[in-house]
Structure 1
């Protein structure tokens, strides 16, 4: 096989199902709420990022684990339909990972995740000979030691490493070692504020820890970018009618990587990702509306990005 037959972008992480329910507001302690079922939607951070990269015209692949159940089959069928490379997805014995997405009328969400061993990337049977054939490797906050090993091997092969990090910084004691091998760091406001309540300073702190470029997503307020030259950008959000923000950050990561793969500047990558993520919130499901390259190009002509 030639490299044309292999993914350009390999996302290591999870494949899952999001069960969306509509509620009037997020529940308060001891409060009971009526909920309406919205639907079952394929999800997973790695799968979403690879799907966004592929939707724009790239060749995305996912390295993950699913269970021998209906959820796993739904997720795999969706990825195949989208053209995502699934050769590195392992069929395990544990149930497929799933999430309960609590959706409010303004499109915001809270997620309740039901953990299973199948949430991890396919570290067990991944064919490491595939790694040098890619151009960009993407990882989520999975097994810290495995991600560090992955980034070391990909760096040896001259690949770009991107990390979507969220959650507690304390649970990754080797974070600085990982960031020293990270070309592009994606994180969100809560995670950044856990490092420093001033977002701009948090970006500089992440960069001082080793990250080459730092992108912080801010929901409907857009994103912040601190690039490899220490240039700082605040990119405003787009006015859209959001119904479900689940997976918007994953979409952002995949779209940013697509721009990077095609030689765009970090600012151009962030602008593309910002627009792609905003549009992804206008339909239910984390992959409910992933625009194609032509669609995003046509839409960009209506913004300041053209």
Structure 2
């Protein structure tokens, strides 16, 4: 089995909670791509995280966490800035993030910093999330995308609070189209689809991204499961298992992690049914993540998934 390069951000989440009736923030290692890298490793795949980290105690915790999780840091650079904080408040189990730290510690990897040998040796390259909003890291992501010899997967992972207005949204929409056109797999959430393509049904969004050139598109629907658009068939809805969600942080990332781990282990499915089966497994992974607190720390092993969902 080869390895996946996961290009994107790592930061620290501060999750709104209570202790003895007093509001407090619980610290958790986070960042969508970091969650993906950890999820791949927990599911038995090999992952290399590529991005920039700060030089403070929080960044040291991020490095230690990734190393303990079995995620490689060969392609990661250090910048002399404090670690970006993502402060999360909740509406039910769904987090709402606001980001603190300027310049962002996650957006300081330039194209010349890219470990070309690492990227060129990868079987799967993941790009996406909020690093695409920074010109320097967007340029680095484009370089990685152009060099990747294997499968390319993409997740826009939109954070509306980082978009300054209609022009920024239009710019992101163009970037999404650019990466989707060269992707073997695109994963996005219902919230991503609604923000990028207002008023369009998720099936239409999935079909549109396939028309741009994406091989397979998966749109996650939360408790309703996911829409899967694969070559040769109309979009199909795959149901999610019934769970009692306590924290949905990282659920979408775990879907991507499961799909990438299976791509590493077995390559692309031979037919749409194979994609439907893989997405069904990925939704079980996400269901277990939702039953746990936190993002990266909630990523399960295959044994844990099998034990939780025995039928």
- Please give the TM-score of this superposition, normalised by the length of structure 1: 0.85
Structure 2 Cα separation of the partners of residues 163 and 228 of structure 1: 17
CA deviations 1:210-255 (Å, max 9, x no partner) are: 2111111112222111113334221222222222111211111111
CA deviations 1:44-75 (Å, max 9, x no partner) are: 11110010000011111100111111211111
Structure 2 Cα separation of the partners of residues 148 and 268 of structure 1: 31
The aligned residue for residue 186 of structure 2 is: 185
Q: Verify: 1:301 aligned to 2:289, yes or no.
A: no
Equivalent position to 1:161, from 146, 152, 157: 152
Equivalent position to 1:36, from 14, 23, 37: 23
Structure with more helix by fraction: 2
The aligned residue for residue 224 of structure 2 is: 221
The aligned residue for residue 135 of structure 1 is: 123
The aligned residue for residue 89 of structure 2 is: 102
The aligned residue for residue 150 of structure 1 is: 144
Provide the secondary structure at the position in 2 that maps to 1:214.
strand
- Native 8 Å contact 1:66 1:90 kept in 2: yes
Structure 2 Cα separation of the partners of residues 177 and 293 of structure 1: 33
Structure 2 Cα separation of the partners of residues 114 and 228 of structure 1: 41
Cα gap change, 1:232 to 1:301, in 2 (>3 Å): farther
Q: How many residues align?
A: 283
Q: Verify: 1:56 aligned to 2:43, yes or no.
A: yes
- Native 8 Å contact 1:12 1:122 kept in 2: no
User: What is the RMSD of the two structures over their aligned residues, measured on CA atoms?
Assistant: 2.1
Equivalent position to 1:270, from 273, 279, 296: 279
CA deviations 1:179-203 (Å, max 9, x no partner) are: 2211111111122124143111111
Q: CA deviation at 1:174?
A: 4.4
